[in-house]
Structure 1
Amino acid sequence: MSALLGIVTSMKPLPLLPPASLSRTAIDRNHRLRSAGIDAVWQTGRAHAVVGHRGSVLVSRGGLHLLTRDQVPDEAFLFYLGTDGDGRHFVGAGLLDDGRSAVDTMLSADQARDAEPWLTDPLSGIHSTEPVWANLRDVGEALDDRDVALATSLIALSNWHMTHTHSPRSGASTEMAQSGWVRRDPEAGSEHFPRTDPAVIMAVVHTDATGEEHLLLGSNAMWPADRFSLLAGFVEPGETLESAVIREVDEEAGIAVHSPRYVGSQPWPFPASLMLGFTAEADTLTAAPDDDEITALRWFTRPQLRAAMESGEVTVPTTVSIAGQILFGWLDGGTVPAPR
Structure 2
Amino acid sequence: MKELPLLPPASLSRTAVDRSHVHRGGGIDAIWETGRARAVLAHRGTLLVSRGGLHLLDRKDVPEDSVMLYLGADGEGTHFVGGALTDEGRAAVDRRLAAETDRDPEDLLTDPVGGLHATRPVWLGLRELGTRLSDRDVALATSLVAVGNWHATHTHSPRSGAPTHPAQAGWVRVDPEAGTEHFPRTDPAVIMAVVHTDADGTERILLGSNALWPDDRFSLLAGFVDPGETLESAVIREVEEEAGLRVRRPRYVGSQPWPFPASLMLGFTAEADSLEVHTNDEELTHLRWFTREELVEELREGTVSVPDAVSIAGQIIAAWAGGLDPQTTGWSARG
TM-score, normalising length from structure 2?
0.91
For 1:63-78, what aligned pairs fall within 5 Å after superposition?
63-78=53-68
Give the C-alpha shift of residue 269 in structure 1: 0.5
1:322 corresponds to 2:309: no
Match of residue 99 from structure 1: 89
Give the C-alpha shift of residue 96 in structure 1: 2.3
Q: Deviations over 1:50-102 (max 9, x none)?
A: 11111111111111011111111112110100000000000011112222111
- Which of 202, 207, 211 is equivalent to 1:217? 207
Distance 2:212 2:297 in 1: 24
1:50 corresponds to 2:33: no
Match of residue 337 from structure 1: none
Give the C-alpha shift of residue 291 in structure 1: 4.5
Distance 2:30 2:316 in 1: 42
Q: Deviations over 1:226-264 (max 9, x none)?
A: 211000000000000000000000001110000100001
CA root-mean-square deviation: 1.5
- Which of 26, 31, 46 is equivalent to 2:16? 26
- Which of 146, 154, 175 is equivalent to 1:164? 154
For 1:239-254, what aligned pairs fall within 5 Å after superposition?
239-254=229-244
Q: 1:124 to 1:316 in 2, by over 3 A?
A: farther
1:307 corresponds to 2:297: yes
Q: 1:110 to 1:254 in 2, by over 3 A?
A: farther
Match of residue 173 from structure 1: 163
Question: SS of 2:92's equivalent?
Answer: helix
Gaps of 5+ in 1: 1-10, 112-122, 335-340
TM-score, normalising length from structure 1?
0.90
Match of residue 77 from structure 2: 87
Match of residue 135 from structure 1: 125
Distance 2:258 2:220 in 1: 15
Give the C-alpha shift of residue 109 in structure 1: 7.7
Deviates more, 1:156-165 or 1:221-230: 221-230
Q: 1:224 to 1:109 in 2, by over 3 A?
A: farther
Distance 1:211 1:284 in 2: 14
Give the C-alpha shift of residue 281 in structure 1: 0.5
For 1:165-314, what aligned pairs fall within 5 Å after superposition?
165-314=155-304
Question: SS of 1:22's equivalent?
Answer: helix
Gaps of 5+ in 2: 102-112, 325-335
Distance 1:304 1:179 in 2: 51
Q: Deviations over 1:278-309 (max 9, x none)?
A: 00000111111225111111110011111111
The alignment of Structure 1 onto Structure 2 pairs a total of residues equal to 313
Distance 2:20 2:243 in 1: 44
Distance 1:228 1:241 in 2: 23
Give the C-alpha shift of residue 210 in structure 1: 1.6
Question: SS of 2:26's equivalent?
Answer: coil
Question: SS of 1:108's equivalent?
Answer: helix
Q: Identity of aligned pairs, percent? A: 69
